[in-house]
A and B are shown apart, each in its own frame.
Chain A
Amino acid sequence: MTPDGDEADANTVSERTTERAPSDDPETRGRPTGSATMSTVTDTQPTATDPGRTTSGGTGERVFRGLTTGSGLVVVAAIALIGLFLVVQAVPSLLANNANFLTSPEFVTTDAANLRFGIRDLLVVTLLSSLMALVIAMPIGMGIALFLTQYTPPRLAQPFSYVIGLLAAVPSIVFGLWGILVLAPAIEPFAAFLQTYLGWFFLFAPGNLPVLTGTIFTGGIVLAIMILPIITATTREVFAQTPRFQVEAAQALGATRWEVIRMAVLPYGRSGFIAASMLGLGRALGETIAVLLVIRAATSPSTGSLFDGGYTFASLIASAASEFSQPLPTGAYISAGLVLFVLTFVVNAIARVVAGGKVNG
C-alpha cells in the first residue's frame, strides 16, 4: 500500500460520516465536498451501492421491481401449471393401463378399454439419439468456439458466428426432410461398415429395422447438427470472456497457444460449456418433427442398438396427435409427455451437479 492509498481510504471513511447528516437532501448526495477533492473517485462508490437508496426510490422503481418479479413468477407458475396439467391428464390413463408403464415396450392405445402402454422403448430411443447427438456436437461445438475466440481475427469471427447462427434459424422440418431424403442414403455405406466390423458391440449390432436408413444413428447425426449452433454460441460467449490477465500470465510464462487454452480458457469456460451442452441436450430431447421424419418406426421392441428404429417421447406424441379424440388414449400420450418433462428436469439437475453449481468458477 502506498501512502497515497492510505490517505484515500481515510478520506472515504471521513466523507461517509460527514455525509450521513444531510442524506435526506438528494442534491448533496454523492457529491464530493470541497475538502475531499483528492478522493472523488472512491467517494462516489459507497453512496451508489447504498441500500437505503433503492428502498427510498420513486414509483418508477417500484413498478419496475414489480414487473421483474412478476416476470420471474410467470415462469415458475407456467412450469408448475404445465406439470399439474400433465399429472391431471395422465393419472386416469395410468390407472387404466394394463401393461407396466416403466418396463413395457408396447404402446397400444387403439382400444380405450384395454390400454397397454409403456415407456421403455421411448426412453431408450430418446436417450440414445440425444446422447449420440451430444457426443458428436460437444467436441465440434467446443472446437468451433475455440477457433472463433482463440485462432480467428475478430474481423473473420463475426461473419463466421453469424453463419452458425443461421443454422439455428433453419426450421426443424427442413432438417427432417434433409435427414431422411439426403443424409440417410448418403451415410448408409458408413452405417453398413460400422455394422459389419463393429457389430459385436451392442451399439452397432443389427437393430429392429430391415434397413440402415432412418435409424437412431441417422437421427443422432441430424440432432447433432441441430444443437450445434446452441452449444457453439453459448460456449463462444463464455470463452471470449476468459480474463485477459490469465491469458497474458500464461503467455508470459512461455505457454504456447494450446497451453494457454488448456491452462486458462478451458478451466475458466468448463462450466459454461457444460451448461451450453445441456441446453443443446434439452433441445435434442424435445425435438419433434425432425425425429419423426428421420427415425423410422419399428415393429419389434428396441434392442439398444443405434441401428434401431422407433419413437422418442416427443415424436410419438406428435405422430398420434392428429387422432386424439378420446380422453383415455390421449392421457396415455400425455403420461409419456410427463416422463419427458421429468427427464428434462433430471438432466438439468445432473448438469448443475456436473458444473459444480457455480458458473465460470
Chain B
Amino acid sequence: MRFQRRAAAVGLIAAGALLFSACGSDDNSGGSTEQASGVTCGGKQDLRASGSTAQANALTGFVNTFEQTCNGQTVNYTASGSGAGRNEFIGGQTDFAGSDSALKADEAQRAQQRCASPALNLPLVFGPIAVAYNVPGVTDLALDGATVAAIFNGQITTWNDPRIAALNQGKTLPAAPIVVNFRSDESGTTQNFQTYLNAASNNAYGKQATQTFNGGVGAGARGSQGVTDATKNTPNSIGYVEASFAQKAQLPAAQIINSGGGQPVALSTDNVAKAIDAVQVTGQGNDLTLDLNSLYKTTTPGAYPIALATYEIVCTKYADPQTGQAVKAFLQTALSPQAQGTLTAGGYVPIPDAFKQRLTTSINAIS
C-alpha cells in the first residue's frame, strides 16, 4: 500500500510537470510571433487545408501569426502529401491545398468545377535544396548542373574525375569513389531535384523526375534527416537535402554554377531570392504557376538555382464568401513581414519583394 501511494504521488508530480511544461511551450510560441498588419480579418473561423509535407513547417509559422493577428481564427493543416492535398481540395473536403506541384490540366478542370471559378496556383513557399557533401579536406566544392547530373546518374564515379577537377582548379580532390545518398521515401524534394537535374543538364540526366529517386546509383536513406546523417557519416559521399538540414549538421553545400555560367554561387537566402525574382510565370491572369525551367536554368548572375517551390491551391471565388474572406486573410497574413520572418528558421526563403507584389495582387482578388 505504501508503495502504491508513493507511486501515485510520483505519477501525479510527473503529470503536473507535463502540464506545466505544456503551458510553458504554449506561452513561448505565443510570445515569439507578432501580429501582422494590413490584414482584413474575418470570415470562417476554422479553415481546413491539407497537402505537401515540404511546406508544413512554413505553414505552422504562418498559422501562428494568423492566430495572433485574427482573434479566434485558425487553419488546420494536415501534412498528408501533395497528391492527397490536391485530391481533398478537389473533393471539397478542404478549403485550400498545399502542393509541391501545380494542378495538372485535368485536375485544374475538376478544381474549376469544385470552385465554380478557376482555381489558382500560388507559389507561396520556397525551400532551397543543398547538394551537401562530405569530402575530407574539401570545403568549397563547385559544381555545375551537368556535373551534378552526371554524379547523380552514375556517369561520374570518382571525386578526381576530370569534369569535377575542371570546375575546381587548385583544389585537391581524392581519388575515392563517390557515394551517392538519396531519399528512399517518396518526396517532393527528390522530384524537384531531379527536375533540376534534367533541366540544368539539358536532359543529360535522362531519368524521370518522379517522387522516387531514379538515378540508379547510391544508397537510399529515410527522410532528409537520414540523408543528412548518412552523408555526415560516410566519407566521400554526396546527397541532396533541404538547406536547413545541411546547415544544422554543418555539412558543406556545393556552390552551383548556374546556367548563365560565371562564378559558382553559394547557397544563401539572398542568392535564392535572386533566382525567385527572375522566375517566369506560365499561369494566366492571377494564376502564378511557375515555369520551373526558368528557375532551374536561371542565367541571373549570383542566383542559386536549386529550390523547391510549393504552391497553395485556392479558388478564385469561393461558393461561401465567408470561406473566401478567411482564406484571403490567411494568405495576406502569410505574406506579412511577421509571418515571412518565421521562415528562415525552418530553412525556407522569405519571398523577395518583386515576387511578393505579384502574389499580393493575386491574393487580393480572392473572394
B234 to A, closest residue via Cβ: A211
In the complex, which of the residues B80, B212, B217 contacts A210, with contact meaning CB atoms closer than 8 Å? Answer: B217
Task: Give complex CA distance A292, B185 in Å.
Answer: 10
Interface residues of B, CB < 8 Å — how many? 31
* Residues of the B chain whose Cβ atoms lie less than 8 Å from the Cβ of A297: 182, 184, 219-221
Per-residue B-contact encoding for A102-117, CB less than 8 Å = 1, 0 else: 0000001010000000
Pair A323/B219 contact, Cβ less than 8 Å: no
Determine how close the nearest CB of chain B comes to the CB of A140; give it in whole angstroms. Answer: 27
In the complex, which of the residues A185, A299, A323, A324 contacts B217, with contact meaning CB atoms closer than 8 Å? Answer: A299
> Do A214 and B230 form a contact, CB below 8 Å, given A299-B217, A299-B218, A323-B81?
yes
In the complex, which of the residues A110, A210, A320 contacts B218, with contact meaning CB atoms closer than 8 Å? Answer: A210
Task: Give complex CA distance A328, B112 in Å.
Answer: 25
* Residues of the A chain whose Cβ atoms lie less than 8 Å from the Cβ of B186: 110, 320, 322-323
In the complex, which of the residues B87, B177, B210, B216 contacts A110, with contact meaning CB atoms closer than 8 Å? Answer: B210
Interface residues of A, CB < 8 Å — how many? 26
B84 beta carbon closer than 8 Å to chain A? yes
B145 beta carbon closer than 8 Å to chain A? no
A311 to B, closest residue via Cβ: B184
* Residues of the B chain whose Cβ atoms lie less than 8 Å from the Cβ of A296: 184, 219-221, 230
Q: Which of B217, B219, B233 has the most CB of A within 10 A?
A: B219
Pair A299/B216 contact, Cβ less than 8 Å: yes
> Do A210 and B216 form a contact, CB below 8 Å, given A293-B222, A322-B81?
no
Determine how close the nearest CB of chain B comes to the CB of A56; give it in whole angstroms. Answer: 40
* Residues of the A chain whose Cβ atoms lie less than 8 Å from the Cβ of B179: 210-211
Task: Give complex CA distance A320, B179 in Å.
Answer: 24
> Do A322 and B216 form a contact, CB below 8 Å, given A185-B233, A297-B221?
no
Determine how close the nearest CB of chain B comes to the CB of A306; give it in whole angstroms. Answer: 15
A35 beta carbon closer than 8 Å to chain B? no
* Residues of the B chain whose Cβ atoms lie less than 8 Å from the Cβ of A300: 216
B154 to A, closest residue via Cβ: A299
* Residues of the A chain whose Cβ atoms lie less than 8 Å from the Cβ of B230: 180, 213-214, 296
Per-residue A-contact encoding for B30-66, CB less than 8 Å = 1, 0 else: 0000000000000000000000010000000000000
B83 to A, closest residue via Cβ: A325
In the complex, which of the residues A210, A213, A323 contacts B180, with contact meaning CB atoms closer than 8 Å? Answer: A210
In the complex, which of the residues B83, B219, B233 contacts A309, with contact meaning CB atoms closer than 8 Å? Answer: B219
Pair B226/A293 contact, Cβ less than 8 Å: yes
Determine how close the nearest CB of chain A comes to the CB of B160; give it in whole angstroms. Answer: 17
> Do A292 and B222 form a contact, CB below 8 Å, given A213-B233, A319-B185, A322-B185?
yes
> Do A319 and B222 form a contact, CB below 8 Å, given A211-B179, A325-B83?
yes
B367 beta carbon closer than 8 Å to chain A? no
B229 beta carbon closer than 8 Å to chain A? yes
Pair B211/A110 contact, Cβ less than 8 Å: yes
Task: Give complex CA distance A296, B237 in Å.
Answer: 14
* Residues of the A chain whose Cβ atoms lie less than 8 Å from the Cβ of B234: 211, 213
Per-residue A-contact encoding for B224-241, CB less than 8 Å = 1, 0 else: 001001100110010000
Pair A210/B210 contact, Cβ less than 8 Å: no
A310 to B, closest residue via Cβ: B220
* Count of inter-chain pairs, beta carbons less than 8 A: 78
Per-residue B-contact encoding for A242-256, CB less than 8 Å = 1, 0 else: 000000000000000
* Residues of the A chain whose Cβ atoms lie less than 8 Å from the Cβ of B185: 319-320, 322-323
* Residues of the A chain whose Cβ atoms lie less than 8 Å from the Cβ of B123: none
A127 beta carbon closer than 8 Å to chain B? no
B215 beta carbon closer than 8 Å to chain A? yes
* Residues of the B chain whose Cβ atoms lie less than 8 Å from the Cβ of A110: 186, 210-212
* Residues of the B chain whose Cβ atoms lie less than 8 Å from the Cβ of A324: 81, 84
A181 beta carbon closer than 8 Å to chain B? yes
Task: Give complex CA distance A323, B219 in Å.
Answer: 21
Task: Give complex CA distance A323, B85 in Å.
Answer: 10
Task: Give complex CA distance A326, B211 in Å.
Answer: 15
Task: Give complex CA distance A67, B220 in Å.
Answer: 49
Determine how close the nearest CB of chain B comes to the CB of A218; give it in whole angstroms. Answer: 12
Task: Give complex CA distance A169, B210 in Å.
Answer: 39
Per-residue B-contact encoding for A7-29, CB less than 8 Å = 1, 0 else: 00000000000000000000000
Task: Give complex CA distance A309, B216 in Å.
Answer: 13
Q: Which of A184, A214, A297, A325 has the most CB of B within 10 A?
A: A297
Pair A325/B84 contact, Cβ less than 8 Å: yes
Task: Give complex CA distance A292, B223 in Å.
Answer: 10
Q: Which of A110, A184, A326 has the most CB of B within 10 A?
A: A110
Per-residue B-contact encoding for A287-322, CB less than 8 Å = 1, 0 else: 000001100111110000000010000000001101
Q: Which of B198-224 contact A (CB under 8 A)?
A: 210-213, 215-222
Pair B221/A214 contact, Cβ less than 8 Å: yes
A192 beta carbon closer than 8 Å to chain B? no
* Residues of the A chain whose Cβ atoms lie less than 8 Å from the Cβ of B177: 210
Q: Which of A193-249 contact B (CB under 8 A)?
A: 209-211, 213-214
In the complex, which of the residues B87, B211, B222, B233 contacts A323, with contact meaning CB atoms closer than 8 Å? Answer: B211
> Do A214 and B219 form a contact, CB below 8 Å, given A110-B212, A323-B81?
yes
Pair B219/A181 contact, Cβ less than 8 Å: no
Task: Give complex CA distance A55, B360 in Å.
Answer: 81
Pair B218/A322 contact, Cβ less than 8 Å: no
Determine how close the nearest CB of chain A comes to the CB of B227; give it in whole angstroms. Answer: 10
* Residues of the A chain whose Cβ atoms lie less than 8 Å from the Cβ of B233: 181, 184-185, 213
* Residues of the B chain whose Cβ atoms lie less than 8 Å from the Cβ of A326: 83
* Residues of the B chain whose Cβ atoms lie less than 8 Å from the Cβ of A320: 185-186
Task: Give complex CA distance A315, B72 in Å.
Answer: 42
> Do A309 and B220 form a contact, CB below 8 Å, given A213-B233, A297-B184, A326-B83?
yes
Task: List 10 A–B pairs whose Cβ atoms lie within 8 Å, in order of A's numbering.
Answer: A181-B233, A211-B179, A211-B234, A214-B230, A292-B222, A299-B182, A319-B185, A323-B211, A324-B84, A325-B84
In the A-B complex, the 9 residue pairs with the closest CB atoms:
A297-B220, A297-B184, A325-B84, A296-B219, A325-B83, A323-B186, A110-B210, A210-B179, A209-B219
Which B residues form the contact surface with A (CB < 8 A)? 53, 80-81, 83-84, 87, 177, 179-180, 182, 184-186, 210-213, 215-222, 226, 229-230, 233-234, 237
